[in-house]
Amino acid sequence: MPIRVLLSSKHKAVSEGIAALLRTHHDMDLVGMADGDSGTLALCDEVDPDVVLFGMHSNDAHDLTLMQQMALRHPPINTVAFCSPTDRNAIIEILDAGAKGYVSTTSSIDELMTAIRAAAAGRLYLCQSAASDMMDSVRKARSGDINVRRQLGGREEQVLRLIADGYSSKEIARNLQIAPSTVEVHRRNIMRKVGLHKVADLTRYAIRNQMVSI
């Protein structure tokens, strides 16, 4: 089945250009276009996309709030944020708001399509430039995390990687061939050991420690 994509952007020329590109990919179906405002939520109700490609301004509180609303109102839908190059803190804010991916406007078309496919599969994706910036921060911060990471068992590291990749407890259980209740035990132990209690925080921890592909 093609990936059902909803395109939302305030910039009509950008939307039309991306829409034309999406139509050339046979594994994607452009099911709607919105203006980047609250109409995006209504259109999500109407067309039920798999992925929302959301053109936004990285430091725009309204855009971040809209993305949070999409994540709360339509949790099965994964959002890819598409905006101008920004810094590590802004990318973290975008991920915290519910985005499954971030692609800058300087990224290649191939990266944009890869981000959509990754989001449709429930995986985290950052474009190469953003991933590089995050890794630079990782190298500076790793010394503070390395002792904590050593406290994690091998199975706990596997579970943490899958959590950061966007898998649910049931999916992790199937992947590792263990009971869902065992996954929840590992999840609680991981949170206790690293001192973090939100999936977004665990994802950032995994990124900092190069435990997940981005």
- What string of H, E and C letters represents the secondary structure of 48-68? CCCEEEEECCCCCHHHHHHHH
Taking the C-alpha atoms of residue 166 and residue 146, their distance in angstroms, rounded to an integer, is: 23
Q: Does 113 lie in the same domain as 29?
A: yes
Beta-carbon contacts of 51 under 8 Å, excluding residues fewer than 6 positions away, are: 3, 4, 5, 6, 77, 78, 79, 80, 116, 119, 120
Q: What pLDDT score was predicted for residue 145?
A: 52
Per-residue pLDDT at 12: 85
Please check whether residue 93 lies inside any domain of the structure: yes
The reply to whether 112 and 12 lie within a common domain is: yes
Our count of domains for the chain comes to 2
- 153 in the same domain as 102: no
Same domain, 169 and 73: no
Whether residue 154 sits in one domain with residue 102: no
Cα(32)–Cα(1) distance, rounded to whole angstroms? Answer: 17
Structural domain for 177, as ranges = 137-208
Q: What was the pLDDT predicted at 46?
A: 93
The reported pLDDT for the residue numbered 213 is 60
Per-residue confidence (pLDDT) for residue 150, from 0 to 100: 62
Say yes or no: 71 and 98 in one domain. yes
User: Is 214 contained in some domain?
Assistant: no
Residues 105 and 142 in one domain: no
51 and 122 share one domain:
yes
Using alpha carbons only, give the angle 151, 152, 157 rounded to the nearest 5 degrees.
155
Q: Are residues 151 and 112 in the same domain?
A: no
In a domain, 213, yes or no: no
Are 102 and 174 part of one and the same domain?
Answer: no
Residue ranges in the chain modelled with pLDDT below 50: 144
Place of tokens 């949790």: 75
Together in a domain, 71 and 176 = no
Tokens of 87: 């810094």
78 is a domain residue: yes
CATH of the domain at 71: 3.40.50.2300
- Choose one of 72, 98, 130: the last residue of a domain: 130
Which residue is associated with the tokens 């925080």?
201
- What pLDDT is recorded for position 81? 94
Among the candidates 101, 130, 159, a domain finishes at 130
Query: Is 86 contained in some domain?
Result: yes
Q: Which two tokens stand for residue 182?
A: 């065992």
